[in-house]
Structure 1
Amino acid sequence: MTQVYFHCSNTKKVFVDHRGAVVGDLAEARDHATRVVLSFTSERSLEDWRDWVLHVSDDQGDELFVVPFTFVLGRPH
């Protein structure tokens, strides 16, 4: 089990995750990352989420992987 953090950013803003989540492996971290992206994008807002990226880091601050929001959202129609 590892504590990981899910920070979101674009070129103008950064949302820092101070709580994180305990995950068993990278697949669980990926699934949680997908849920984080969906939670941001499902809220009613005028924000264009296509240029946002979610950064997944361990408790040492090392980046494990990134998830561009477009990977979850797909292409605009």
Structure 2
Amino acid sequence: MTEVFFNCSSPGHILRDRRGLAVDDLAEAFAHADGFVRSLLMKPNAEDWRGWELHVTDKTGTEIFTIPFASVIGKLH
């Protein structure tokens, strides 16, 4: 098991995950990250999420992967 952290950022904002989550592998970390981003996008609010990213890091702060919220939102029509 590996502990990973899910930190969100946009220009001018950083929201740090202080608790983390123990995962068995990268697939589990990605599934959680994707679900987390989708849950934020589903909640009604006035935030423009297109500039936000979710950075998944290990306990030392080394980035494992990033999910741009725009990649989950998709392209505007």
* Matches for 1:8-19 after TM superposition, within 5 Å: 8-19=8-19
Q: Could you give the per-residue CA deviations for residues 15-71 of structure 1, whole angstroms, max 9, x where no partner exists? A: 111111111111111111101101211111100001100000001111101110112
Structure 2: give runs of 5+ residues left out of the alignment.
Answer: none
Aligned to 1:70: 70
Aligned to 1:32: 32
AA in 2 matched with 1:2:
T
Percent of paired sites with the same residue: 47
AA in 2 matched with 1:21:
L
- The two structures, once aligned, show a CA RMSD in angstroms of 0.9
With the length of structure 2 as denominator, give the TM-score of the two structures: 0.93
With the length of structure 1 as denominator, give the TM-score of the two structures: 0.93
Aligned length: 77
Structure 1: give runs of 5+ residues left out of the alignment.
Answer: none
| In 1, Cα distance between equivalents of 2:21 and 2:3 | 6
| In 2, Cα distance between equivalents of 1:17 and 1:49 | 18
